[in-house]
Amino acid sequence: MSSIIKLKPVFKERIWGGTRLRDYFGYDIPSENTGECWAISALSSGDCEIEDGEFKGKTLSWLYKNHRELFGGIENPEFPLLVKLIDAADNLSIQVHPDDKYAREVEKQQFGKTEAWYIIEADEDTVLEIGHNANSKEELHDMIENKKFQKLLNYKPIKAGDFFYIPSGTVHAICKDTLIYEIQQSSDITYRLYDYDRLDKKTDKPRELHTSKSIDVITVPQKIDTTAIPTVEADEGHQKIVYIENEYFSTYKYDVKDKVKLLNESFLLCTVMEGSGSIGDKEIKKGDNFIVPAECKDMLVVGNISIMISTM
């Protein structure tokens, strides 16, 4: 295969969702409460369909199972990454995700969930909740059971262009008035420890909490610095901003004013954030999501365009 693989996004309605995925990216969303675009996903609950080309109509999970060579021959039994675009018109629950070991032993799933966020848009005075203030599991249990969340939780102001690393075991929540690009392990395991006592509009009942599992997996004390410091590589016609490189994923952004070659060692997961242009023989524009397969080593991007890229 000598071309990119374009994917159709999968949309998820959420109690906290809104319309920014339509307003910003131009997507045809299912409702006024659309919270998530699963832009590049092979999970069974949101398996993206290939839009055109040789494998048109097949799913990403099928492609990964049957054509592992397109992904550099990586050995993971399941496709390892998931790219989301998240519109938080209201606060998400205070939550935490397990690591791989806990996910396999308790949930019988391949991956836990370590993730990272790039802030696309945020209203003035918007914040995120990241981390906690408990010094022991006993103190954590007491604060959660007695709803001492004001004392437990840490909030920090954010702005467009910020990037945050959220390893498994980190208490966190995206807060209202935020549009986010998220790269994560391919997992949908979420444990809620607080949901503001709100009611689900469909059931008129509170959403399920997972207090015991949350306490099991929360890292205590919370030591890691979740604010990523990007590095900038500038050249004539483009700028590359590297946000993170670790054992789970690498994420960077190309701001192209003329052209640039995308270096590819295995495969690239790409989301067009702004502008339009071309890559190889394909036209691309804001809101497009595609994979550059392993055999496409030096694809030329031409145009006035910004692309978020994640890989292993």
The pLDDT-based confidence of 74 (bands split at 50, 70, 90) is very high
State residue 214's pLDDT score: 96
Identify the CATH class of 231-311: mainly beta
Matching CATH topology for 5-217 and 231-311?
Answer: yes
As a three-state string, the secondary structure of 45-72 is CCCCEECCCCCCCCEHHHHHHHCHHHHC
145 and 73 in contact (C-beta within 8 Å)? no
What's the mean pLDDT in 211-236?
A: 88
What's the mean pLDDT in 39-52?
A: 97
- Six-digit token pair at 156? 């920090």
pTM of the predicted model as reported, rounded to 2 decimal places: 0.95
Residue type, 43: L
Closest to 280 (Cα-Cα) out of 268, 292, 289: 292
State residue 1's pLDDT score: 57
Residue 13 has pLDDT above 70, yes or no: yes
Task: Calculate the alpha carbon distances from 290 to 22, 81, 103, 179 in Å.
Answer: 19, 13, 28, 20
Distance CA 56, CA 68 (A): 17
Residue 285 in 3-state DSSP? Answer: strand
Residue 146 has pLDDT above 80, yes or no: yes
Report, as residue numbers or ranges, the catalytic residues.
192
State residue 213's pLDDT score: 97
Closest to 4 (Cα-Cα) out of 255, 250, 270, 184: 270
On average, the pLDDT of the chain sits at 94
Task: Calculate the alpha carbon distances from 279 to 262, 273, 299 in Å.
Answer: 9, 15, 6
What's the mean pLDDT in 224-245?
A: 87
- Six-digit token pair at 3? 């071309």
The pLDDT-based confidence of 228 (bands split at 50, 70, 90) is confident
Query: Residue ranges of the alpha helices (H) in the chain?
Result: 20-25, 60-66, 100-102, 137-145, 149-152, 211-217
Peptide bond before residue 221 is cis, with ω within 30 degrees of 0 = yes
Fold of 5-217: Jelly Rolls (2.60.120)
CA angle 23, 166, 164 (to 5 degrees): 55
* DSSP classification of residue 197: T
Hunting for tokens 């409460």 — which residue is that? 33
Closest to 210 (Cα-Cα) out of 36, 93, 35: 93
- Domain edges within the chain: 5-217, 231-311
The pLDDT-based confidence of 202 (bands split at 50, 70, 90) is confident
**Which residues, in sequence order, are bridge partners of residue 37?**
11, 85
| Contact residues for 200 (Cβ-Cβ < 8 A; gap 6+) | 15, 206, 207
Longest dimension (CA), the chain: 59
Residue 171 has pLDDT above 70, yes or no: yes
State residue 263's pLDDT score: 87
* DSSP classification of residue 287: T
What's the mean pLDDT in 31-37?
A: 97
